[in-house]
Structure 1
């Protein structure tokens, strides 16, 4: 039932703010179209935290980013002119397409302090949509189907599953779901998609008879329904979809073409990509090869 278990690894985003990186993993780079999965926190940020902790303006191509919080708040600004505060249970879905830049700031925490906890994922775009125009969407409330049953509160963040469909615009078959599970509660994950994974953000669960702790992702074998049972109060993310083919990844760039990655690197070096409105005084250098 379980093909592989992946443990999150510590990764510094560059200013001292650490996340737990799950995808990509050397032996498993994607799950469906999901090519990147970072667990932020949980961490308490005190009022007056330095701006160095913020995620400064940076570029993307060939993907959609999805930011989803359990606690805290983040401020998004992008080169299309959007300025959006994201709060728990809401979705920021940014389509990078042929190119976009954005920043993510801890402005609420800097003023008020905050318990920060959430997930940021990247969804690789299919080849036909890799060069689509960039776009930004904020979703909350009725756009995101929610339900409660048998000790479980659920929210469908993106895609379609079990007869439900999220209002988030996606470009390939997929699903992304948040489950809060009471101790002893149980949910069966159907075999609707070729690739599926279960990530434990809080607590512990049993998946297909195997125990998973917070910070672990179980990549499931294709085919067959799989049961998820909470051994204690747990927060679980379930995701997957149909594979989209080989993708190359460098820094914040994703593409089916190595040449396109090289073009994006040069565009950023030469500062040909517009920075976010009102947030254009900082520039994140392109990572250069070590040694």
Structure 2
């Protein structure tokens, strides 16, 4: 029994020394890992897509192509419709990507949760085809060894006619309903678990940037404090920007990643550079959109 008690004591001591990552750090790591996993499966996805184009139904007749795929309409999204490393102001030297069929359009999961709480629980737009990428770069923190980090993620979705325009109307309603959304969380403080409240704010920082429709969506959060001490419980994430740009039936969502390591300079994606990036992204999608530019 004493050996068991000693083991438990050692385990408790080690757990006290563990640094638990913040939620924003977990989300970024999860996105990075999912991209790497997707790269390994990309070849299989493309193979399935190719086979499905010539699949034969049970009755022996060829399976009809998706709506809009024929009569000169573009269907699958080519890699050329995405940004290249040369388009991004920060240096990147690795590109991870994947493709998908029938994927839901993800702009901001937190905004969607708020909108659903406000009763705006409309059906989430689902794409016919999608293509995604993460551009990876290297950063050298002050006094530390360089480390790898995502610089920007991009998703491009092909939607049914009319669905792409409705997506922007849904975003406008969600932003209006969630201008100051209060969210209660139970977090680990210095003296144990505490209930904290943070306020989420979204605003449209810029509109009509490029393409047929475009917005720069900015999300910020208040500081979560311990109600007993008034001290911050966790360091709030920096404001997060998202570019949403439409050209024809294509919509792209661009998210510049925020460095999480101490001593790392802030993301160099200034608002002016983001607006330039929106115009470049719209130009890349032109040749693949229905109708084209």
- TM category, shorter: under 0.3
Q: Choose 1 or 2 for highest CA Rg.
A: 2
**Greater RCO, CA 8 A, separation 6+:** 1
Given the two structures, how large is their TM-score scaled by the length of structure 2? 0.24
